[in-house]
């Protein structure tokens, strides 16, 4: 991927490939892709200085439509691949992208350990509360009682709570957006990329084909904005019920907000703290140099080799 001359302002087209998305018309994935590109324009990140690592799912087909370096990995494995890339090349902007089944089901333990490790990675989860690519089975975030192809009598388990899980696993930037508010989502994603540490942006993303319960209307009726800097530009015109004051430095308050689900669903930045990243405490790594650039000419390995003679 070639560098775009620095005097050229990067635009949406610089992050767009010649191929068109094959998502179903109306899918929430379109809003997330637009918000992500707008966030990259806002931050002016060169495509050749960015890596997006994808899991498996409808969302992860985005690998073909986002013009940055991309890796389409195995189901649930985006985060460990992203971690490896960030560790060996700290100069790269690294994001991971997956869905609720991919990240909170198959890859759940990677998610928890990524939170507590606090590597400087942004994780965007397209949370449509269903397995879309495989045609409509219950996912870890499907609501209790939801009738799906795999649960004709209703889901028995209680859903995973990604925000509370990220809080208890010590992630340092935790947000929820909605695919229908591209403006707010752009700000949340840009905030996550700028944040130094592990950032989760869980996005409510209606699957218009397989999830007939958690629709755009369902999202609109329930969501309200946490009134912090990452808010929608149209928030001023909303009633007080749609916007409540919040302090993202207050972890207890964030936990309290994270419990809200059902009648009222908060969106925005729940929590942010500055904490050393994994790389900061790993003394063998340099923060401004890729491993491949390290000078190894003075390293003497003859002692080690002698052990195997
Ligand atoms: Fe989107 Fe659902 Fe269609 Fe997949 S199946 S592209 S998630 S609407």
190 Cβ partners below 8 Å, 6+ apart?
Answer: 39, 42, 43
From atom 5 of ligand 1, which residue's Cα is the shortest distance away? Answer: 132
From atom 3 of ligand 1, which residue's Cα is the shortest distance away? Answer: 24
Q: pLDDT tens, 101-150?
A: 999 999 999 999 999 999 999 999 999 999 999 999 999 999 999 999 99
User: How far away, in angstroms, is 306 Cα from ligand 1 center?
Assistant: 58
Q: What is the pLDDT of residue 150?
A: 97
Q: State mean pLDDT over 271-291.
A: 88
- Range with the lowest mean pLDDT among 2-6, 290-294, 298-302? 2-6
Q: Is the CB of 132 under 6 A from ligand 1?
A: yes
pLDDT of residue 5 exceeding 60: yes
Q: pLDDT tens, 43-102?
A: 999 999 999 999 999 999 999 999 999 999 999 999 999 999 999 999 999 999 999 999
- Range with the lowest mean pLDDT among 175-179, 244-248, 286-290? 286-290
Q: State mean pLDDT over 271-288.
A: 88
pTM of the model: 0.93
pLDDT of residue 155 exceeding 50: yes
Nearest-CA neighbor of 45 among 73, 15, 20? 15
Q: Is the CB of 23 under 6 A from ligand 1?
A: yes
Q: pLDDT tens, 220-276?
A: 999 999 985 544 555 555 444 588 899 999 999 999 999 999 999 999 999 999 999
Q: What is the pLDDT of residue 234?
A: 53
Q: The domain 12-306 is classified under which CATH number: 3.40.190.10, 3.40.50.970, 3.40.1390.10, 1.10.3720.10?
A: 3.40.50.970
User: How far away, in angstroms, is 59 Cα from ligand 1 center?
Assistant: 8
User: How far away, in angstroms, is 22 Cα from ligand 1 center?
Assistant: 9
**pLDDT range class, residue 2, cuts 50, 70, 90:** low
From atom 1 of ligand 1, which residue's Cα is the shortest distance away? Answer: 27
User: How far away, in angstroms, is 128 Cα from ligand 1 center?
Assistant: 9
Mutation test residue for ligand 1: of 208, 211, 214, the one with most atoms within 8 Å of CB = 208
Structural tokens at position 21: 């998305």
Q: Is the CB of 210 under 6 A from ligand 1?
A: yes
Structural tokens at position 144: 């209790």
Q: What is the pLDDT of residue 242?
A: 84
The conformation of residue 229, written as its DSSP 8-state character, comes to: S
pLDDT of residue 182 exceeding 50: yes
Atom of ligand 1 nearest to the CA of 205: 7
DSSP result, the chain: -PPPPTTSPP-GGGGB-SSPP-SPTT-THHHHHHHHHHHHHHHT--GGGEEEEE-SSTGGGGGGTB-SEEEE-STT-HHHHHHHHHHH-TTSEEEEEEEHHIIIIITHHHHHHHHHHT-S-EEEEEE-SSBTTTTSB--TTSPTT---SS-TT---SPPP-HHHHHHHTT-SEEEEEETT-HHHHHHHHHHHHHSSS-EEEEEE---TTT-SSS-HHHHHHHEEEEESSS--TTGGGS-GGGEEE--TT-HHHHHHHHT--SS-EEEEEEEE-----TGGG-TT--TTS-GGGS--TT---HHHHHTT-
Q: What is the pLDDT of residue 255?
A: 98
From atom 2 of ligand 1, which residue's Cα is the shortest distance away? Answer: 207
User: How far away, in angstroms, is 24 Cα from ligand 1 center?
Assistant: 5
User: DSSP H helical segments within the chain, as ranges?
Assistant: 29-43, 78-88, 100-101, 108-117, 162-168, 182-194, 216-222, 251-258, 302-306
Residue extents of the structural domains in the chain: 12-306
Q: What is the pLDDT of residue 283?
A: 77
Contact present, 224 and 244 (Cβ < 8 Å): yes
Q: What is the pLDDT of residue 230?
A: 43
């Amino acid at each position: 991927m070639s560098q775009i001359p620095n005097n050229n302002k990067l635009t949406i087209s610089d992050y767009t490939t010649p191929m068109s998305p094959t998502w179903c018309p109306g899918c929430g994935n379109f809003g997330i892709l637009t918000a992500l590109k707008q966030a990259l324009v806002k931050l002016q990140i060169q495509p050749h200085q960015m890596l997006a690592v994808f899991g498996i799912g409808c969302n992860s087909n985005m690998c073909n439509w986002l013009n940055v370096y991309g890796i389409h990995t195995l189901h649930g494995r985006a985060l460990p691949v992203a971690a490896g890339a960030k560790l060996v090349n700290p100069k790269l902007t690294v994001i991971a992208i997956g869905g609720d089944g991919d990240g909170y089901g198959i890859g759940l333990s990677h998610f928890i350990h990524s939170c507590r490790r606090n590597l400087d990675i942004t994780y965007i989860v397209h949370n449509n509360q269903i397995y879309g690519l495989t045609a409509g089975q219950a996912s870890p975030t499907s609501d209790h009682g939801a009738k799906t192809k795999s649960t004709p009598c209703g889901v028995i388990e209680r859903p995973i709570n990604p925000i509370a899980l990220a809080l208890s696993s010590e992630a340092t930037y935790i947000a929820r957006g909605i695919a229908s508010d591209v403006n707010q989502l752009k700000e949340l994603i840009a905030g996550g990329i700028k944040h130094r540490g592990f950032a989760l942006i869980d996005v409510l993303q209606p699957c218009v084909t397989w999830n007939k319960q958690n629709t755009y209307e369902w999202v609109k009726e329930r969501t309200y904005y946490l009134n912090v800097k990452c808010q929608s530009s149209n928030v001023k015109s909303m009633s007080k019920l749609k916007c409540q004051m919040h302090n993202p430095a207050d972890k207890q308050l964030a936990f309290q907000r994270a419990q809200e689900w059902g009648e009222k669903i908060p969106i925005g930045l729940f929590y942010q703290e500055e904490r050393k990243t994994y790389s900061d405490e790993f003394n063998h790594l340099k923060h401004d140099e890729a491993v491949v650039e390290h000078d190894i000419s003075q390293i003497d390995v003859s002692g080690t080799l002698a052990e195997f003679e």
